[in-house]
Chain A
Amino acid sequence: KQEVTQIPAALSVPEGENLVLNCSFTDSAIYNLQWFRQDPGKGLTSLLLIQSSQREQTSGRLNASLDKSSGRSTLYIAASQPGDSATYLCAVTTSGGFKTIFGAGTRLFVKA
Chain B
Amino acid sequence: NAGVTQTPKFRILKIGQSMTLQCTQDMNHNYMYWYRQDPGMGLKLIYYSVGAGITDKGEVPNGYNVSRSTTEDFPLRLELAAPSQTSVYFCGIGSTDTQYFGPGTRLTVL
- Choose from A44, A97, A100 the contact partner of B45 (Cβ within 8 Å): A100
Chain A's interface size range is 20 to 34
B68 to chain A, nearest CB (A): 14
Q: A98-B31, A99-B48 are in contact. Are A104 and B98 (CB under 8 A)?
A: no
Please, which residues of chain A bring their CB within 8 A of the CB of B45? 99-101
- On whether the beta carbons of A43 and B103 are closer than 8 Å, the reply is yes
Interface of A (DSSP majority class): strand
* Chain B residues with a Cβ closer than 8 Å to the other chain, count: 25
Task: Identify the closest chain A residue to B49 (Cβ).
Answer: A98
User: A109 in the interface, Cβ–Cβ < 8 Å?
Assistant: no
B86 to chain A, nearest CB (A): 15
Of residues 1 through 41 on chain A, the ones whose CB sits less than 8 Å from some CB of chain B are 4, 6, 31-32, 34
Q: Top 6 closest A-B pairs, CB basis?
A: A102-B42, A97-B96, A102-B43, A44-B101, A104-B42, A43-B101
Which of A's residues lie within 8 Å of B, judged by CB?
Answer: 4, 6, 31-32, 34, 42-44, 46, 49, 51, 89, 91, 93, 97-105
